[in-house]
Chains A and B, each alone.
Chain A
Amino acid sequence: MTNFFLQALAEVGTPSVLGLIVIGVLFGIIGGSIPGFTVTMAILVVFPFTFAMDPVSGVSLMVGVFVGGYSGGIVSGVMLGIPGTPSSITTVYDGYPMAQKGEPGRALGIGVASSFLGTIISVAVLVFFGPLIASFSMNFRPWEITALIVFALTLVAGLSSGALLKGLMAAALGLLITTVGYDRNSNLRFDFGLPAMGSGFEILPVMIGIFAFSQLLGNIEKLKDEKSEAKNIDTNVTIPYGQILKDMAGQKLNTLRSSLIGSLVGALPGTGGTVANFLSYDQAKKFSKHPEKFGTGTPSGIVASEASNSAVAGGAFVPTLALGIPGDLPMAIMMGVLILHGITPGPMMFEQNPVLVGAIYASLLIGAVVMVLCNLLLVRWFAKISLIPQQILVPVVLMLCAIGAYALNNNLFDIWVLFIFGIIGYLLWKAEVPLTPLILGVVLGDNLERQLFRALELNESWLTFLTRPLSALFLALAVASILFSLYQDRKIQRLKGAAQQENV
C-alpha cells in the first residue's frame, strides 16, 4: 500500500491537482460559512465541474470541498453566532462568547487548529480501519451484502429524524425510484410509454432535485418567517498564534477523544457531523474539571466541537470505501461522483484502484493543511462572504444545479428529472418525510436488487438469509435498530406529552 500511496501522492502533488484542492477547500469553507448552505450543497454545486476531469483530479477537488466544508462553520459560528452548518452548532456555544469577549482571533485559531487535528486523526483511522474492514468484507457473499444494505437503510431511516415509519417508507421509495427503466434482465419497467424513461433516472439529478430544492426553498420560507437583521460585524481579526499554541497544548486528550468520537460517528450510517458535534461536546463537558465554564467561551468547548465535526470527514469514508455503503448525504453524493468516474466503491476498490484510495488519503491530508492556511489568512473575507443573502444564493445555486444535471450526459431530460424530483422532494419535506433514507435508497437500490436476486439464483430458499451467520446478524441488527427507534419515538412522544401537560 505504501507504494501506491507514494504514487498517489505524486499524482496529487502536481500543480494542477494541488490547485484543485485549494479551490475545493476555498469553496468548501465558503459553503460551510454561509448559514443554511451546508457542506452537501457545496458538494452538489462543485460536482458538475468534475465531469471532464480524470478520477484523481475530480476526487481531489471533491475531497477539498469536503474538508473545507466541515471546517467552514467556524467562521459564521464565531463571528456571527450563527452555525454555518448544523455540524457546528456547539462551536457557537463557546466560540461566539469568546469572540464577544474581544478574542475572535483566538476562537477562530483554536477552531481551525482543532479542525486540522481532527481531520488528521480521522485520516489515520481511515488508513487503519478502511483496508481492515474491506479485507474482512471480501468474504461477503450476496446474502451478507443484501442484509448489510437492509441494515444500513433501517439504521438511517430510524435515526434520521425520529419519524421511523416515514423514514422506512422513504427508504423504500428511494429503492423504487431505481426500478424505473431497463433492469438486470433487460426488461423494461415503469416507462409509462415514454422513451426517455427507458434508460431510467440518473442518480445524481434525482439526488440533487430531492435535496437541493427542499433545502433552498426551505431557506426562502425561513426568511419569510424570520425578520433577518443586517449584522454589522467587525472583520478585522488578528490571530494570537502564541496563545493558541498554549491553548492547544492543554487540550491534547480532549482533541484526541473528540477526533475519535467524530471518526467513529462518521463511520456509522445515518449520523454525521451534527451527532458527532453534540456527543463530543457532551463528553468533553463530562470529563472537564470545569464543566461550569462550558458555554461561556472556554477553549475546551471549541476544541470538542471542531475536532469532532472535522473528524467526520475521514470516518465517513470508511464504510463508503470499504463496504460501498455511504453513511450520510455528503457521502452518498461522493459515492455518486465516484460511480460517475467509473469507480465502484466497495471492498474491491482497495485492490482495483489502490492509487485512487491513496489519492483520497493524500487529498484529505493536503486539504487539511490548505484549510488551516486559507482559514487563517482569509478569515476576514470568509466572514464577509458568509453574509451573502439567501435571496441571491438560491437562484444562482438552482441554475448551477440545472447546468450540472444537463452536463452529466448533455441530456435535457436530466433537467426535467431534477425539476420533477425537486417538486417531489419539496412536498415530501413539507410532509416531514426524512429525505436522507430516500437518497440512500436511490444510491443503493440497484446493488440491493442485484445482490438479492444473485442470492436467490444461487439458492432459491429465502431462509438462507437467516441460516448464514453474518447475514442473520445484519438482519437481526436491522430489526434491533427498528425496535430501538420505536422505543426512542415512544420516549419522545411521552416527553412531549408530559411537557404539554405541564404547560396546561
Chain B
Amino acid sequence: MLTLTKDRALALALLLIVAVMWMESGSIAPPTSWQPYGSALFPRILLVVIGSFSLLILVRSLLVKVPERAGAKQLVAGWFKSRRTILALFLLFGLYAALLPAVGYIATTMGFLVASLALLMGIDTRRKWIINLTLSFTLTLVIFVVFRYGLNVWLP
C-alpha cells in the first residue's frame, strides 16, 4: 500500500483543490466581444500551473523510496495526537471568532486569553493563575480603551 508522506499529502490535497476550483471556474462569466479573454483565463492559467507543480511534486515523491509505515488513517490520527496543544489553540481561536459577535469583545477576549494562557502555561500553581488572570484582564481592557478612545475603532 502507498505510504502517505508530507509531499504526497500536499500534492493530493492541492490536486483536489485545483479540480474543485476548475469546476467552479465554469460558472465565471464567459468572454464577450469587448472582453475577449474573459475573467476565467487568469485563474485557469494559475490552476494549470499549480496542478502541474502538484503533479511534479507527487511524481517526485513517488520516485523516492519510503520505508513502509502505518496506514494513512493511523498516520493522520498520530499526527493529530502529537499536536493536541496546537489543535486546541486553533479550536479556541475558532470559538473566539464565533462568539465575538454574540458575546462582545470584552467577555470573549478575556475568555480566550484565560483559556489559551491556561492551555500553554498550565494551571498547576497559584502564581500561574495570578499571571494569567492579571494579564488577561489588564490587556483586554487596555486594548479596548486604546481602540475605542484612542483610535475611534468600535470593537464588537
Contacts and interface: CB of A to CB of B under 8 A. Distances in A.
A419 B153 contact: no
Contacts of A183: 39
Interface in A166-223: 166, 168-169, 172-173, 175-176, 179, 183-185, 187-190, 192, 217, 220-221
Given A165-B60, A220-B86, A406-B155, A176 B6 contact: no
Contact of B151 (A52, A400, A419, A426): A52
Contacts of A234: none
A51 B50 CA distance: 35
Classify chain B's interface size.
Answer: 35 or more
B107 interface: no
B89 interface: yes
Interface in A456-473: 456, 460
B103 interface: no
Nearest to B48: A172
Contacts of B6: 430-432
B151 A396 contact: no
Most buried by A among B36, B43, B56, B155: B43
A399 B109 contact: yes
A407 B147 contact: yes
Contacts of A399: 96, 109, 112-113, 139, 143
A354 to B, nearest CB: 27
B40 interface: yes
A395 interface: yes
A478 to B, nearest CB: 13
B30 to A, nearest CB: 9
Nearest to A223: B120
Nearest to A449: B42
Given A176-B47, A190-B25, A402-B97, A431 B9 contact: yes
Interface stretch (A117-125, A324-332, A409-417): A409-417
A402 B156 contact: no
A452 interface: yes
Nearest to A390: B120
Nearest to A432: B6
A55 to B, nearest CB: 15
Contacts of B117: 391-392, 395
Contact of B50 (A176, A224, A453): A176
Contacts of A187: 28-29, 39
Main secondary structure of the interface of B (DSSP, over half): helix
B95 to A, nearest CB: 10
A377 interface: no
Interface in B35-86: 35-37, 39-40, 42-43, 46-47, 49-50, 53-54, 56-57, 60, 83, 85-86
A453 B36 CA distance: 10
Given A172-B50, A189-B28, A410-B154, A400 B100 contact: no
Main secondary structure of the interface of A (DSSP, over half): helix
Given A176-B46, A217-B86, A395-B113, A169 B7 contact: no
Nearest to A400: B143
Contacts of A343: none
A169 B42 contact: no
Given A49-B151, A220-B120, A189 B97 contact: no
B35 A185 contact: yes
A416 B93 CA distance: 10
Most buried by A among B10, B57, B97: B97
B131 A453 contact: no
A288 to B, nearest CB: 42
Contacts of B153: 51-52, 407, 410
Nearest to A396: B139
A189 B152 contact: no
Contacts of A217: 86, 89
Most buried by A among B21, B53, B57, B151: B53
Given A176-B50, A185-B35, A391-B120, 16 more contacts: A165-B57, A169-B54, A176-B21, A189-B28, A190-B43, A392-B121, A395-B112, A395-B117, A402-B96, A402-B100, A407-B153, A407-B155, A410-B153, A412-B101, A423-B90, A433-B10
Interface of A: 49, 51-53, 165-166, 168-169, 172-173, 175-176, 179, 183-185, 187-190, 192, 217, 220-221, 224, 389-392, 394-396, 398-400, 402-403, 406-407, 410, 412, 415-416, 419, 422-423, 426, 428, 430-433, 449, 452-453, 456, 460
